[in-house]
Amino acid sequence: MIKTLFAMQRSSAIWPASYCQYYWEDIEPKFNRIVAAFEASFSAMADEIVEAFDYLYAKGIIDYLISLKGC
């Protein structure tokens, strides 16, 4: 059971980064507005949200650039 939960957690964490990589050209110009929307919705956790989106932003750029290298 624990292995299944761990696998689900890992796959759910990977999905947003993969999604961002695929749609990066559309997402990147809107990224600050997306972060602001989450901050406004979850103001009690704003610092954690910013940190998570900073990571996601960096991961999106890295994965996008790596995908371009493979083309």
Confidence band, pLDDT 50/70/90 cuts, at residue 62: confident
Alpha-carbon distance of 35 to 42, in angstroms, equals 11
Is there a domain that residue 10 lies in?
no
**What is the C-alpha end-to-end distance of the chain, expressed in Å?**
39
Query: Does residue 19 lie in a domain region?
Result: yes
- Residue 6 resides in a domain: no
Instruction: Identify the domain containing residue 35 by its residue range.
Output: 15-69
Q: Is 9 within a domain?
A: no
- Asked if residue 5 is part of any domain, the answer here is no
Sign of CA dihedral 7, 19, 60, 64: positive
Q: Examine residue 28 and state whether it is found in any structural domain, yes or no.
A: yes
pLDDT tens-place string over residues 17-51: 677 777 888 888 998 898 888 888 877 777 887 88
Supply the pLDDT for residue 21: 75
In a domain, 4, yes or no: no
> Does the pLDDT at position 68 exceed 80?
yes
Domain count, the chain: 1
